[in-house]
Amino acid sequence: MAEITGLAEAVSGLVRDGMSLALEGFTHLIPHAAGHEIIRQGRRDLTVVRMTPDLVYDQLIGMGCVRRLVFSWGGNPGVGSLHRFRDAVENGWPHPLELEERSHADLANAYVAGASGLPFAVLRGYRGSDLPKYGDHIRFLRCPFTGEELAAVRSIRPDVAIIHAQKADRRGNVLLWGIVGAQKEAVLAARHSIVTVEEIVDDLGAWPNACLLPHWVVTAVCPVPGGAHPSYAQGYYRRDNRFYRAWDAISRDRERFRAWMEEHVLGTEDFAGYLRSAGLALPPESDR
Amino acid sequence: MSAGFTAVEMMAVAAARLLPDGAVCFVGIGLPGTAANLARITHAPALVLIYESGPIGAKPGVLPLSIGDGELSLTADTVVPTPEIFRYWLQGGRIDIGFLGAAQIDRFANINTTVIGDYRRPKVRLPGAGGAPEIAAMAGRTLITLRHTRRAFVERLDFVTTVGFLDGGDARRRLGLPGAGPTHVVTDLCILEPDPDTKELVVTSIHPGVSRERICEATGWPVRFAPAPAITTPPTAEELEALRDLERRTARAHGDNGGGNA
């Protein structure tokens, strides 16, 4: 049953050191505010899962929160590398990072399997690729009907899934639209879930086929306006592409990264304070 | 450039021409997005663009910086969940052309986007597979576009992320991959196509003003040329205007002041 609560309370109540978390979002609706709160609360030894780890995972890794990364594409899209991710893999800074590496098709299927209560997913994939050589999460099996060789991949069952959505109602039913990625699957695959939302409304006005998470599959709903920035929330604000580019310089150097995070994330109480401190604004949708 | 267009513009135009009108194209991150949208606004208005984040039939007015900008979902015919893209649309066999970029490529059009150096202790950690392995396996055929340098066109890949023709000949067919594999590799210097039997990439068209020596220097293996390679038709005024207009709009939308470094 969803509880409508503050983000700091939700994170301190549900996220423990050593847990596996999926902060999902495919470019759109990335739960940046929740990632910052995990950093503020100093969580450690986390396994973090995501198809497209971007800036918020770069920050979690660089701040030493992460022991293991399960992922399929780790970059700053259209800009270049995630420097903190690279520094952790290439140089072990701030400490070594274990990788469980997959393809998008694998990880998407693995969330579906997790949401379906299955131990693994089946897909036509990986044949000839070097990826199955690293880690034991990718195996091959024969179809019992046709004899075709198919890939079997271990399902994803995070302790906590964390997503951002446009709206929730007062009972905690959650509505999201636009590019919805694998968020619904991640929430249904996880034991608990935290959903940050742009706003709480009386009536969602959802159409029958809308991507809606009923309140009884969501653990906590936290109103955090702007909580996806620099990602975007369709209907509220655009992707802050300027910030994605600026991140390249901020994150390239260890000291500059640390100083920036200490000033703007550790040095602020919440996401609104962070946005003010870093001089960031939500780009309005009309402004193009 | 004295010819009135840059090598990168030639690359985008040459790649765009290879996308037939009405085809269903799965668009990879980076350079493919430019060429695919150029094709759509020039000769192929019915080209269907599918992005891995979920948009089907996207018609962006500006190029997305990422693979999931709002512009894609706002202009799409429909937006489906990412698992559905890979399960029903790609694995279901509904993609004609997979259009990919690459960090490294070998003579059999295998791609590395994972690591430079040893996997456990990499010299350079690259972003990883993304959708590429299954796009290259499942799409009816694949187009690849990347800049032509010795660092990219290597004798031996450090890691095979995505299979082209493996070690050539009928290796791909024996592997049982549903799609036909790469049909063209478009660079800023030339177009390469796999030899029908050996599957080794052969230069079949040289962009105007580019010498054979330059292509050899930029290729990490002794690259072969077709008996009489074509000279790529230079970009037309219409193609160039459409491309530059698209890039101008994109730069403005992403907050550049004309320069653009993505």
List the domains of chain B with CATH numbers: 7-188+235-253 (3.40.1080.10)
Report the distance separating Cα A23 and Cα A33, nearest Å.
Answer: 11
Using an 8 Å CB-CB cutoff, list chain A residues near B79.
178-180
Q: Would you state the structure tokens that stand for residue A128, as one six-digit string? A: 């000839």
Choose the closest CB to B119 out of A73, A123, A134: A134
- Tell me what pLDDT residue A135 has: 86
| Closest-approach residue (CA) in chain B for A98 | B120
Q: How many CB atoms lie within 10 A of CB A157?
A: 20
Q: How far is CA B118 from CA A73, A224, B23, B166, in A?
A: 18, 42, 39, 19
Specify whether A141 is located in the same domain as A209: no
Report the distance separating Cα B143 and Cα B255, nearest Å.
Answer: 30
Q: How many CB pairs under 8 A join A and B?
A: 186
Report the distance separating Cα A219 and Cα B52, nearest Å.
Answer: 29
Specify whether A237 is located in the same domain as A249: yes
Q: How does pLDDT run across B167-204, given as a tens digit for each residue?
A: 999 999 999 999 999 999 999 999 999 999 999 999 99
ipTM above 0.90, yes or no: yes
Indicate if the pLDDT at residue B259 is higher than 50.
no
Rg (CA), chain B: 18
Q: How many CB atoms lie within 10 A of CB A256?
A: 12
- Cα B184 to the center of its chain, rounded Å: 9
Residue A232 DSSP code: B
Residue B47 DSSP code: P
Output the average pLDDT for chain A. Answer: 96
Q: How does pLDDT run across A57-91, given as a tens digit for each residue?
A: 999 999 999 999 999 999 999 899 999 999 999 99
Using an 8 Å CB-CB cutoff, list chain B residues near A130.
114, 119, 159-161
Q: Can you give the pTM of this predicted structure?
A: 0.96
Report helix, strand or coil for B122: strand
Note whether B130 contacts A178, CB cutoff 8 Å: no
- Tell me what pLDDT residue B262 has: 30
Output the average pLDDT for chain B. Answer: 94
Using an 8 Å CB-CB cutoff, list chain B residues near A123.
86-87, 91, 134
Specify whether A68 is located in the same domain as A171: yes
Indicate if the pLDDT at residue A200 is higher than 90.
yes
Q: Would you state the structure tokens that stand for residue A286, as one six-digit string? A: 């009309």
Specify whether A8 is located in the same domain as A82: yes
Here the CATH number for the domain that contains residue A253 is 3.40.1080.10
Specify whether A165 is located in the same domain as A60: yes
Note whether B133 contacts A125, CB cutoff 8 Å: yes
Using an 8 Å CB-CB cutoff, list chain B residues near A52.
130
The boundaries of the domain holding residue A10 are: 3-102+157-277
Q: Would you state the structure tokens that stand for residue A88, as one six-digit string? A: 């952790």
Domain count, chain A: 2
Choose the closest CB to A242 out of B83, B123, B255: B255
Instruction: Tell me what the mean pLDDT of segment B93-104 comes to.
Output: 97
Indicate if the pLDDT at residue B258 is higher than 70.
no
Note whether B129 contacts A104, CB cutoff 8 Å: yes
Specify whether A126 is located in the same domain as A269: no
Contacts of A213 (CB under 8 A, 6+ apart): A165, A173, A174, A176, A184, A187, A193, A195
Question: What DSSP letter does each residue of B148-193 carry, written as one string?
Answer: --TTTB-SS-S---B-SSTTSTTHHHHHT-SS--EEEEE-SSEEEE
